[in-house]
Structure 1
C-alpha cells in the first residue's frame, strides 16, 4: 500500500480533517492534501511526526520499493550528479585560459587555437549530454525546466560552429 493511502486511511479512521492533522504535526493543510493524493511526499521529519501521530511504524511507511523511497533515492542521485556537473564548464574555463596564452599570428599558433576552441566546445557538449541523460534517468525534469537542456545544446552547437568557422576563416586569411 502506498504512503498516500496509508496517511489518508489513518486520518479518516480517526475522523480528523486535514487541517487538524496539519496543526498536530506542524505542517500546512496543502502539504497534507498533496501527501494524501500522492502528489508530493513528506520529508523525513514530517514522516517521523506522522508516524508518531498515527502510532505507525516507520518500517510500514518506508517499505523498500515504495514511491517515497524511490523519490528519496532520486533526490540523492540528483544531488550527487549536480556535484559532478561542473566538471565540463571548469574544463572549458581552463581551455579558454590556455587559448589566451597561445594567441599569435602564425598558422601553427592559429591551428593550436582552433584545436583548443573545438576541444572546449566538445568538453562542454559531452558533459551537458551526459548529465542531461543522467538527470533524465532519475526523472529530474519534474523539478526543473525541460527547455534548459534544449537551449543549452542549441547554444553549444552554435558556439562550436561559430568557433570552427571563425578559426577556418582566420587560417585562410593568413
Structure 2
C-alpha cells in the first residue's frame, strides 16, 4: 500500500476531512488531496505531524513505500548540502559586511567638506601665532555633534592641516561654530613658522582671514 493510501485510511479512521487536516497542518486542502493520491509527498516535518495527528507510527506509514523512503533520503542529503553552502556563504559574507559597516561608521565620524559652512581665521597682528584662532562653522544632522579635531604640521611644510570629527549623539543643534586655538609648538618648545591653515576638504581660497592687531 502506498503512503497516500495509508494516510487517507488513517484520516478516515480518525473521522477527519481533508479540510480539517489542512487547517490543523496549515496547508491547503488540495495539498492534502495531492498526498492522498500519491501525486506529491509530504516533507519530513509534515510526515511527523501526520503521524502524530493520526496516531500512526512513521514505520507503518513508510513501510513498503520505497519511493517515499528514497525521496526522504535525497531530501536529507540536499538539505545537508544547502546547510553547508549557507554556512560557507555566511563565513565569507559576515566578515565582509562587518568590515564595510565599520568603514561606513568610521567615515561618518569625520566631518565631510559639504558639512563645512565657513572657515574664519583670526590672526594676532599680521601673522599666524599661538594666539591665533580658527573658527569653523559646521552643519550636523540630528544624529551627530562636533566631538573634536586633529591638527598637524608637516615636517617640511609651512601649512597647518586641520581635520574635524563628530560623534553620534541626538541633538537638536544643526549648526555650530567651533573655535580652535592654533597650537603649533614644536617638540623643543619653540614656535614653528606657519603661513597657512588648511581644513581638510575645504577650499583654502574660501577661508576668511581677519587681522586683529589688538589681540
Higher fraction of strand: 2
More helix by share: 1
Task: Determine if the TM-score, normalized by the shorter chain, exceeds 0.5.
Answer: no
Q: Which has the larger radius of gyration?
A: 2
Provide TM-score, normalisation by structure 1.
Answer: 0.41
